[in-house]
């Protein structure tokens, strides 16, 4: 049975072989990339480009300014209004129909 120290030595030897194999393969790949770049007339900027997140500016339609909705409910005591969207105000209570604004 192999000892711990012997296994560690084997591990270090394998890691050295891995590093050497990777460096030789990477060098070959870089040479291939350079050859292809010369063949097609590409530069580093052509390959890398600019990385941005999301959509580019101006790609969508311009958003029109939203107009506030007309009020649908009005508190007669305080004059506060609510359009019916968003969080319900406390002054509406359980019967909001009594605060409805008559449509014109």
Instruction: Indicate whether 34 pLDDT > 80.
Output: yes
The Cα 59–Cα 54 span in angstroms is 11
Exposed/middle/buried for residue 53 (C-beta within 10 Å: 0-12, 13-18, 19+): exposed
CATH of the domain at 101: 4.10.430.30
Q: Mind listing the pLDDT tens digit for each residue in 54-84?
A: 776 666 666 677 888 899 999 989 999 999 8
The Cα 51–Cα 86 span in angstroms is 38
Secondary structure of residue 82 in the 3-state scheme: strand
Residue 80 lies in a domain: yes
Examine the domain organization and report whether 8 and 43 are in the same domain. yes
Total domains, the chain: 2
At residue 27, the pLDDT reads 92
The distance in angstroms from the start CA to the end CA of the chain is: 95
Residue range(s) defining the domain that contains residue 98: 68-104
Examine the domain organization and report whether 72 and 44 are in the same domain. no
Residue 98 lies in a domain: yes
Examine the domain organization and report whether 42 and 8 are in the same domain. yes
Residue 62 lies in a domain: no
């Amino acid at each position: 049975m192999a000892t711990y120290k012997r296994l560690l030595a084997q591990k270090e030897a394998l890691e050295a072989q891995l590093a050497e194999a990777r460096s030789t393969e990477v060098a070959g790949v870089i040479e291939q990339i350079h050859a292809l770049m010369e063949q097609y007339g590409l530069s580093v900027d052509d390959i890398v480009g600019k990385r941005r997140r999301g959509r580019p500016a101006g790609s969508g339609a311009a958003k029109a300014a939203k107009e506030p909705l007309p009020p649908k409910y009005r508190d007669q005591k305080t004059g506060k209004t609510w359009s019916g969207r968003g969080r319900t105000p406390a002054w509406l209570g359980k019967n909001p129909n009594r605060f409805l604004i008559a449509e014109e």
